[in-house]
A and B are shown apart, each in its own frame.
Chain A
């Protein structure tokens, strides 16, 4: 077996173990669901319990036959993905305080940079898109978007 196939097999087995652990977690919490009354004989615990058993059994099958996986990203790719996720989460969390447009300006600029724009283009794109989406989903379509100290 080649190194790549062995690596894929190992990754598949790790995923199977995670799924089986999740099945145990899900099943345990499923059996702890509190309820005082149910009009049907199965109750709210029955379906989750059945699904936990199914997930565990399928997880075991997956562990035995891990199959193939795609190539995983190198360090540079992992850093880029992490940057995207952290900046996205930070901007989304900050939206309520700083407002929609400033938060989106930062996010759009960072994503444009990640996808190869230079700083000038990224900033122009960030400002343009932030304003465009705000105009479309705010004043035009009547949506409620977070307002910061600047009012948008």
Chain B
């Protein structure tokens, strides 16, 4: 395959007009990303008609929308780290290690680390997209329901890393998360499950309602408890940036997470939330020797951030090469292409080299712009935590309510969020971790739907789950991710024992 499209694209992306459009898109995306109410999909949907009616050429419009998209992936982390309120679905796992860092006064470092790992993830993924877009898209279409199901089994296998000293609580959290996915309309049979004739429940519990309730409202309740006890102190904010050693330390976790994130992003229907969850659990399984993940470990922060940016880039692959959107946001962007009478597909790289090349080249430039733009702003964002609690916490509550209300225009959804917040508070007091609930929720729906679709295709034969090479590779990976760390631990223990006796 010739890469002429990339050189032509560089010419397009470096035009002053498109550079400015990319910069504006990155800035708007960062702002959109850190507001939980909006999210990249709504941001793009709002900007699309403006871009079209203002007469922007197709490549400029696509550069603007793409910049908003990956800018939002950068921005989603800000409220996640500072306030424990995930700005978008892909930023949920960022809070697991980012928020504890902010609580101990390292907000600036956490924001910088996440910005740098987002840059790593974004850049590596764009390089992968440049060279592997077409072959990967051909692989993606080999994924049927059985392969998706086994992929979810693999994702659950990585959950083994979340099991702490009370495994029953991790497993219970996971089952509770799975149960929440069964609420609402069952797409396969058309039956309503656990809706109790409430129209608000017909679409099920929305992800954003769950995470804002579990993370933000329960956190406010915990802070209130500390306030009454007199133990809630204003946060210290140190101005330190990460050291070079720390930047090097997150390189390999970011690379691994990018590989996972990009691959998952290429697969239609999975998305950044699955990518960040799987990359976090995988990294914890591989690296958490000291048990520091979940307590503010920079690797636990870097992995999901690199993964969600890589997934956002990966989602462009099936959209451009097959015309199949990899995420909700790329579905809106597909609409943008069609608005300009452009038909996506493998020939797009040949027929529209300026457009595809311009888009890909703008991603290289956009990631650099985002890093340059984000690093100096880190101090500014971190200083937000210096506000007194009587300003900050009403703000968190308002943002939580607005996040749900503006997305669903329903008072009932806000009340459900508070209900989930109460449950989250009780579970946290009981010593439950929130991450397994979120992981169960993220993976559950995809798992059940594909499990049942695969059985429908095979007429009830379970052999379908082992019938393709891809499935078998995924089964082997799932078994390996469970067994290899156990084997390594035993070997290490045996070596240590042998060393002591020698």
Question: Which residue numbers of A lie inside 8 Å of B, CB to CB?
Answer: 11-12, 15, 19, 26, 29-30, 33-35, 37-44, 46-48, 51, 54-55, 58-59, 61-62, 65, 67-70, 72-74, 76-77, 80-81, 84-85, 88-89, 92-93, 95-96, 104, 107-108, 111-117, 121-122, 125-126, 129, 133, 137, 141-145
Contacts and interface: CB of A to CB of B under 8 A. Distances in A.
A12 B178 CA distance: 22
22 contacts: A29-B194, A38-B189, A38-B191, A39-B188, A51-B178, A55-B179, A58-B168, A67-B168, A69-B429, A70-B431, A73-B229, A81-B225, A92-B411, A111-B393, A111-B394, A113-B390, A115-B232, A115-B390, A116-B388, A137-B406, A144-B406, A144-B409
Interface in B399-435: 399, 401-402, 405-406, 409, 411, 414-415, 418, 422, 425-426, 428-431
B166 A67 contact: yes
Contacts of B428: 70
Contacts of A88: 397, 401, 418
A35 B223 CA distance: 45
A61 B448 CA distance: 25
Given A15-B430, A80-B228, A107-B394, A92 B188 contact: no
A29 B196 CA distance: 10
Given A69-B430, A73-B225, A129-B395, A42 B411 contact: no
A89 B418 contact: yes
A29 B194 CA distance: 7
Contacts of A84: 220-221, 224
A111 B391 CA distance: 9
Interface of B: 35, 37-38, 46, 166, 168-169, 171-172, 175-176, 178-179, 182, 186, 188-194, 220-221, 223-225, 227-229, 232, 388-391, 393-395, 397-399, 401-402, 405-406, 409, 411, 414-415, 418, 422, 425-426, 428-431, 448, 451-453, 455-456, 459-460
Contact of B451 (A33, A42, A48, A142): A42
B455 A112 contact: no
A129 B393 CA distance: 11
B169 A129 contact: no
B228 A44 contact: no
A137 B189 contact: no
B229 A77 contact: yes
A5 B56 CA distance: 67
Nearest to A71: B429
Given A48-B182, A93-B411, A115 B227 contact: yes
A74 B225 CA distance: 9
A73 B228 contact: yes
B429 to A, nearest CB: 5
Contact of B186 (A35, A92, A126): A35
Nearest to B170: A58
A46 B261 CA distance: 31
B28 to A, nearest CB: 11
Contacts of A122: 390
A28 to B, nearest CB: 11
Contact of B172 (A11, A41, A55, A137): A55
Contacts of B393: 111, 115
Contacts of B175: 51, 54-55, 58
A44 B189 contact: yes
Contacts of A46: 452
A77 B429 CA distance: 14
Contacts of A65: 166, 168
Nearest to A111: B394
A76 B422 CA distance: 17
Contacts of A133: 398-399, 402
* 7 nearest A-B pairs in the assembled complex, by CB-CB distance: A35-B191, A117-B390, A40-B456, A40-B452, A38-B189, A41-B460, A44-B186
B228 A19 contact: no
Contacts of A70: 428-431
A11 B256 CA distance: 41
Contacts of A35: 186, 189-191
A147 to B, nearest CB: 12
Contacts of A96: 411
Contacts of B430: 11-12, 15, 69-70
A37 B223 CA distance: 49
Contacts of B220: 84
A19 B188 CA distance: 28
A38 B406 contact: no
A112 B169 contact: no
B394 A145 contact: no
A127 B448 CA distance: 47
A43 B189 contact: yes
B397 A47 contact: no
Contacts of B193: 30, 33, 44, 48
B120 to A, nearest CB: 31
Given A92-B411, A114-B227, A19 B172 contact: yes
A95 B409 CA distance: 12
Contacts of A113: 390
B452 A42 contact: yes
Contacts of B460: 40-41
A33 B227 contact: no
